Chains A and B, each alone.
Chain A
Amino acid sequence: MYLLAIDWIFIIEKLVLIAAIVTLSMVVAMYATYGERKVAAFIQDRIGPNRAGPLGLLQPLADGGKLFFKEEIIPLASSKFLFILGPLLAMVTALLTSAVIPWGATMNIGNRQVPLQVADVNIGILYVFGVVSLGVYGIMLGGWASNNKFSLLAAIRGASQMVSYELAMGLSLIAVLMLTGSLQMSVIVGEQYNSVWNIVYQPIGFIIFFICALAETNRTPFDLPEAENELNFGYHQEYSSMKLGFYLFAEYINMFISGVIMATLYFGGYDIPFVNEVSLAQHIGENWVALLTFLTLMAKALFFVFVFMWIRWTIPRFRFDQLMHLGWKRLIPLALANMIITALVILWLKK
């Protein structure tokens, strides 16, 4: 009787959703590598990859195939278990965050309300932060297990950078949480859905969050852990074949997910700007609106991915002391001030 009590359709629904989201993240990450090369090329007045397939669209497949067929080298001096665990953790933590993100408005399939969200946990944003801070293990283990001083240096840089910027990120986020009064992602989006986007109230908070997101995903100008010209290749120097691929992939997935999170927290999530979704749903049906909202979220997220790339090909890398200076002496006080002012304004308005 217990088996019958389980809502099997619910499980299938969630499994399909998980598969879809993981595939989506993978495909986006794959094409982000292509996008990166194209953006780089365009900014440098070049054309970029255009040989594999029309407009070079098959380039990511060729790159992936190449990575798979490369020789897999595990250095003798490395600690093998951790060496394998590193890229695995990087990949897993990159993908895990996508679980709590509301990807679109609720769908209606066969009289069943299907929210486009894997898990609407009430500590959504806290979960995201927990998983993101686990991401540092991928870098740390990879660098440590390689038994190479450059990798280790890079890993230490990466770990300290991620830990310091997480602080400012969390502080800038508290202001948003105070506005919403909830940690639940769907509530945060719902609030913006019905009124204005959080960016209106929190422009400084967003800038801090954005800078920290750059640092968290190890993107230029904060790409110190993988500084090619200083540390050879950073923490993944000893990696080859698909293990390296996983690291690179994890970076792009992280980029995409942080774009999604920024869109969710500050830019109304899946809210279509200047459109009343409820009246639209009466015209074209709930499911089409859900699809449109999903596409809106994707557009917002991909815009942020583009901005990440744009920044990468504009700004040179920070020096490590500058990085720490910016993180601890500039962003954290600023985030604190932002938080306190927000709190005061909220208190004042409520009274």
Chain B
Amino acid sequence: MSVQLTNRSKPVDRRPMNWVERLYLINIFRGMAITLKHFFKKKATIKYPEETRPFSKVFRGLQILNRDEEGRERCTACGLCAVACPAEAITMEAAERQEGEENLYREEKYAAKYEINMLRCIFCGYCEEACPKDAIYLSQTFTPANYQRKGFIYKKEDLLIPNPVTDPEGYQKALGTIGREKEGV
């Protein structure tokens, strides 16, 4: 005898079928009643482009490169995110800020090139954790489909958040609930 694991188990009925059961029709009607019940049930479908499934508060989606309140890039190309990345999806090239570029970059060093390969990225969020400058966040959107592999290598232009000075609306939208998880939004 086997151990009883749950109280939901039912013994298999191996009795020979009686006449009514062998007629099969009644069981068919029963089955059809079940499918008819499902016909009127609430549908599980989410009509995607119009409706979207609500993400969890801690959903880790597409990365964004953050700016500060004046619209300057926060990234200093320290490379910690690339080191932390277990999938080796991040590459970057550093450059020195020139005279007159103070309104573009927050500190003296910045990322001239910053690429994330979304086909490699596993959205673990280690880059966000590693970043000392609050420069990279995982947003609440996912990577859209693309026809080519090279379309999945996101350049700095693709990743940068809209400028809060010139495009405050876009900035707020892209920011989403980042950093506000604890507020319960």
Q: Give the docked Cα–Cα distance between A45 and B47 (Å).
A: 13
Chain B residues closer than 8 Å to A42, beta-carbon distance: 38-39, 43
In the complex, are the beta carbons of B36 and A47 less than 8 A apart?
A: no
* Contact flag A44-B38 (CB < 8 Å), given A310-B32, A314-B28, A315-B31: yes
Q: Give the docked Cα–Cα distance between A46 and B47 (Å).
A: 10
In the complex, are the beta carbons of A47 and B28 less than 8 A apart?
A: no
In the complex, are the beta carbons of B44 and A314 less than 8 A apart?
A: no
In the complex, are the beta carbons of A43 and B38 less than 8 A apart?
A: yes
Q: A43-B38, A310-B32 are in contact. List 18 more A-B contacts (CB 8 A).
A: A42-B43, A43-B35, A43-B39, A44-B38, A45-B38, A45-B43, A46-B43, A47-B43, A47-B45, A207-B25, A310-B39, A311-B28, A314-B28, A314-B31, A314-B32, A314-B34, A314-B35, A315-B31
Task: Output the least CB separation between A168 and chain B (Å).
Answer: 15
Task: Output the least CB separation between B22 and chain A (Å).
Answer: 10
Instruction: For A211, give the chain B residue with the smallest CB separation.
Output: B25
Q: Give the docked Cα–Cα distance between A275 and B170 (Å).
A: 65
Q: Is B41 in contact with chain A by the CB < 8 A criterion?
A: yes
Chain B residues closer than 8 Å to A233, beta-carbon distance: none
Q: List 5 A-B contacts (CB under 8 A).
A: A43-B35, A43-B39, A44-B38, A314-B31, A314-B32
Task: Give the number of residue pairs across the A-B interface with Cβ within 8 Å.
Answer: 37
* Contact flag A310-B35 (CB < 8 Å), given A45-B43, A46-B43, A315-B28: yes
Task: Output the least CB separation between A105 and chain B (Å).
Answer: 33
Residues of A in contact (CB 8 Å), total 14
Q: Is A313 in contact with chain B by the CB < 8 A criterion?
A: yes
Chain B window 21-58, contacts with chain A (Cβ cutoff 8 Å), 1 for yes, 0 for no: 00001001001101110110111110100000000000
Chain A residues closer than 8 Å to B31, beta-carbon distance: 314-315
Chain A window 36-56, contacts with chain B (Cβ cutoff 8 Å), 1 for yes, 0 for no: 000100111111001000000
B interface SS class: helix
In the complex, are the beta carbons of A45 and B41 less than 8 A apart?
A: yes
Chain A residues closer than 8 Å to B44, beta-carbon distance: 45-46
Chain B residues closer than 8 Å to A46, beta-carbon distance: 43-45
Chain A residues closer than 8 Å to B39, beta-carbon distance: 39, 42-43, 310
Instruction: For B22, give the chain A residue with the smallest CB separation.
Output: A330
Task: Output the least CB separation between B47 and chain A (Å).
Answer: 7
Q: Give the docked Cα–Cα distance between A42 and B43 (Å).
A: 7
Q: Give the docked Cα–Cα distance between A43 and B45 (Å).
A: 13
| Centre residue among A44, A45, A46, A314 by max chain B CB count within 10 A | A314
Task: Output the least CB separation between B100 and chain A (Å).
Answer: 52
Instruction: For B29, give the chain A residue with the smallest CB separation.
Output: A314
Chain A window 293-337, contacts with chain B (Cβ cutoff 8 Å), 1 for yes, 0 for no: 000000000000000001101110000000000000000000000
Task: Output the least CB separation between A188 and chain B (Å).
Answer: 26
Chain A residues closer than 8 Å to B43, beta-carbon distance: 42, 45-47
Q: Give the docked Cα–Cα distance between A315 and B31 (Å).
A: 8
Task: Output the least CB separation between B43 and chain A (Å).
Answer: 5
